[in-house]
């Protein structure tokens, strides 16, 4: 946390939500921790520290104004109706299809190579 904070006192003094991400230990990814209400970045950082860091449970925090988060929540884009499982990193799940093919052909499952 910088001594100056990311910004000076808020112009309006209006409270708004800030999203807090925390890193639990070195090497971990940032994970969403929760949110705080604050009038500006400086106090948001103070409150994030109090709510998500004062028990030594975090080694780093990111504090982001919720209004600055670009949200995507469109089911046509995120949950398309057709099967697109082949686009997953693991591709099609072949195990069941392979087992059925072996059964039909009568071939046993090859042993795993030794070593």
Partner 1 sequence: MNAERTGDTANLDPTARLALGELLLSMADDEFVIGFSDSEWTGIAPLLEEDVAMSSLAQDEIGHAKALYELLAGLLDDGHDADAIAYDREPPDYRHCRLLDHPRGDWADTIARRFLYDTADAVRLEAVASASWAPLAELVGKIRREERYHVMHVGAWLERLALAGGEARVRLEDALERLAPDAATVFAPLRDEAALVAGGILAAPMNDLEARWRTMIGPTFERLRLTPPPPATEPERGRLDHTAAFEWLHSEFTSVRRLDPAATW
Give me the residues that bind partner 1 (CB under 8 A), please: 1, 3, 5, 8-9, 13, 15, 36-39, 42-43, 46-47, 49-51, 54
Q: Looking at beta carbons only, is 67 or 72 nearer to partner 1?
A: 67
Q: How far is the CB of 57 from partner 1 (least distance, A)?
A: 13
Q: Looking at beta carbons only, is 5 or 60 nearer to partner 1?
A: 5
- DSSP-assigned states of every residue in 17-73: EEEEEEE-STTPPPEEEEEEEESSHHHHHHHHHHHHTTTS--SEEEEEEGGGPPP--
Q: How far is the CB of 66 from partner 1 (least distance, A)?
A: 14
């Amino acid at each position: 946390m910088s001594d100056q904070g990311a910004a000076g006192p808020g112009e309006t003094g209006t409270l708004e939500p800030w999203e807090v991400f925390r890193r639990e230990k070195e090497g971990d990814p940032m994970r969403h921790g929760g949110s705080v209400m604050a009038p500006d970045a400086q106090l948001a950082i103070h409150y994030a520290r109090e709510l998500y860091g004062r028990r030594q449970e975090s080694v780093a925090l990111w504090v982001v104004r919720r209004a600055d988060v670009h949200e995507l929540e469109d089911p046509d884009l995120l949950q398309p109706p057709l099967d697109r499982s082949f686009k997953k990193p693991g591709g099609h799940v072949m195990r069941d299809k392979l087992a059925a093919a072996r059964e039909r052909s009568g071939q046993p499952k090859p042993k795993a190579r030794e070593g």
